[in-house]
Structure formats: C-alpha cells, structure tokens
Amino acid sequence: MRRRDVFVWIGSAIAWPITAPGAWSAGSPVKIGWLKIQGPHHTPDQLKAFREGMGALGQIEGRDYLLIERYGEDNEARLPDLAAELIGLNVRFILATSQPSVVAAARVTRTVPIIGRLNDDPVENGMAKSLARPAGNISGVYSLAEELTPKRLSLLKQVVPSALRVGVLLRDDWPSAKRAWQTEEAAATQLGLELVALNVRSAGDLAAALSEAGANHLDGIITFRNPTVVTNLKLIAEQCRKLGLPAVFDAREYVDAGGLMSYGPNIDAIYRQLARFAVKLLNGTSVGEIPIEEPTKFELVINRRTADAIGIRLSPDILMSADQVIE
C-alpha cells in the first residue's frame, strides 16, 4: 500500500468549526459516541464485536464506559447533526462506522477524537498526515477498499471466464470514485475486460441502472463503496440475483442479503481491532499519535444458493479457497 507524508487537509467543501471536547468526571463511566449511517438493526454484529473487543481488554460496559448510539437511518444528511449531538453529550470520542460517518464527524470537530473504519485512503483525502502518525484528530483502520477492487474484479473473471463487460456501480460525486476507477480500469485491461460506469445516487438510479444491464450487455457487476451503495445493499443484491447478474462485493453483508460473492476485510474483526484504539484513548494517548492500521483478517464469502439460482458453476478451486460458503 502507498505511504505518503504529504499533509493535505480536507478541501474547502468541509467546514471545520472548533469544538471543545467537554468535561467528564473522573471515576465515572466514559461516554463513547457510536455514529452509524444505517439504522440499529443493520449489521448489529459490528456493535457486538466492538463490545466483545472492549471486554477482552478488561473494559466493562456500565462501569468503565457507556455507549451513546446515534443512527442516520440511511440518511447521510443527518450525520453531521447527530455527530454534533454526541459532542454535546460530552462523549470522550466518536467511533464512526463508515466513511460518511467519519466525514460528518470531521465537519463538526477538530478536537474531539474520531476513530473508525476508514474506507477511503486517509492520507490521500487529507484526514491524516501519514498512516504512522496521523497528527490530527482522526485514526482507525483503513479497510483498503480501493486497493482490493482489482482482486474482486479478478474473482468475477474467475467465476465468469466468458465475461467481457462489467458494470461498476459508483457515485461520481464521491471523493474516491475517480481514483478507484483508474485503479480498476488498469486491472480490467489486464483481464481483457471493459468497464461500464453506472452512476447511481439514489435507489431509483440503482434500479434503473441494473434494469438496463441487458441492454448494456453486462456480464457482471462490481461496486465502489459509497453511501448509495451501502444503504441500498439489499436492493442491489436482490436485483442482481433477479436479473441473473453475477456480482462481487467488498463485504459479506451483501452475500448474506443474496449477493453472489464478496472479498474484503472481516468487518467484525475490524471492530474488535478498534476496541484497542478506544482503550488507548481512554488511557490518555493522543489520537494523532495512534497509527492507522490495516485490517488483520480478510475473507472470501460465496453464496452457493445464489450461484445455482443464476446459473453460475463454481469450480472446486474457488470453493476450496472460500472462507465460508453459504449453502
């Protein structure tokens, strides 16, 4: 992965009001803010994994910390107000569960620590001076979403050797979209594939783009992670299955929803990993001194029921290499 030491703050589109971190009483449970773009019933195992990680480090909920949860209910625009609400409640830090949540919290404060799952390159987008020493108020686990897109494309080609044209569900106004496209296009050239950009900013855009897959002669689908794709994951998985489109995603939640295949970090493991960041903050370490880490566990998940339903024959080799096969 790239290592850069250029310090570039987030562009002028993001406002940076200074916010004091607030006060909390010594000896009382420390408040931790949990900020999520979806609702509380979306991937609840992530919150469970964080709690497990805290428990493994000797931190008992109710005695040592309190989780203050706020959810955007799939509405990205709500996140800055929710982040401000958490800060108003004197949270010690905010755990932001996705790139939109990180960005929203960063719009509200430059002083309250923010840790979370960073899907976009944090140095490239100006959130950190370097991975080894972020220097600002943001740290966490960089999930390598962009770097792993070529691997997902190669998996699609492996399960559909005859594929020639692949649709890419993306949002052209999302900061990482252009860079991710360049990375993926280079990989597609090596695999003899042509990419077709499917710009989607709403559920309606998604339905329309996927319904035109036949007219566009698409042989498969991949996605670039952004709020539209994340909050409509069930729609994407269901439509791809209905239309017989093989798709490779970046997280197993799509496969659980009926998608064909995913390759990426084990998300629950990331939240256990983030518990270590939390404990460091609780012990007084400055967030700017906590290195941004990479995931510790990656997984290939395959939905065999979906493969059978859309007529994809999976080779023994790819089934053997899978971490989990949903039967």
Domain's final residue, options 192, 217, 249: 249
Beta-carbon count within 10 A of 15 CB: 10
Instruction: Determine, yes or no, domain membership for 34.
Output: yes
Q: pLDDT-derived band of residue 14, with 50, 70 and 90 as boundaries?
A: very low
209 & 274 share domain: no
In a domain, 195, yes or no: yes
In a domain, 278, yes or no: yes
Same domain, 140 and 179: no
The pLDDT score that the predictor gives to residue 3 is 40
Place 132 in a pLDDT band, splitting at 50, 70 and 90. very high
Residues 282, 180: one domain?
no
- Measure CA 310 to chain center: 27
pLDDT of 190 > 70? The answer is yes
- H-only helix segments in the chain: 44-56, 79-88, 99-108, 149-159, 177-191, 203-211, 227-231, 233-243, 252-256, 267-282, 304-309, 316-321
Q: Alpha-carbon distance 107 to 12, whole Å?
A: 11
* 271 and 186 in a common domain: no
Domain count, the chain: 2
Residues 198 and 124 in one domain: no
Residue 70 falls inside a structural domain = yes
On whether both 125 and 174 belong to a single domain, the answer is no
pTM for the whole thing?
A: 0.85
Please report whether residue 41 resides in a domain: yes
pLDDT reported for residue 147: 87
Are residues 94 and 194 both part of a single domain? no
pLDDT at 10: 34
Mean of all residue pLDDT scores within the chain: 90
CATH number of 227's domain: 3.40.50.2300
Q: Are residue 153 and residue 237 in the same domain, yes or no?
A: yes
Q: Per-residue DSSP letters for 174-219?
A: STTHHHHHHHHHHHHHHHT-EEEEEE-SSHHHHHHHHHTTTTTT--
Q: How confident is the model at residue 214 (pLDDT cuts 50, 70, 90)?
A: confident
Q: Is residue 58 part of a domain?
A: yes
Which range of residues forms the domain containing residue 65? Answer: 30-144+266-298
pLDDT for 20:
38
177 and 81 in a common domain: no
Same domain, 41 and 127: yes
Token reading at 250: 């970046």
- 108 lies in the same domain as 191: no
Q: Is residue 56 part of a domain?
A: yes
pLDDT tens per residue, range 259-288: 999 999 999 999 999 999 999 999 999 999
Where among 224, 249, 274 does a domain terminate?
Answer: 249
Residue 1 maps to a domain: no
Q: Do residue 170 and residue 88 come from a single domain? A: no
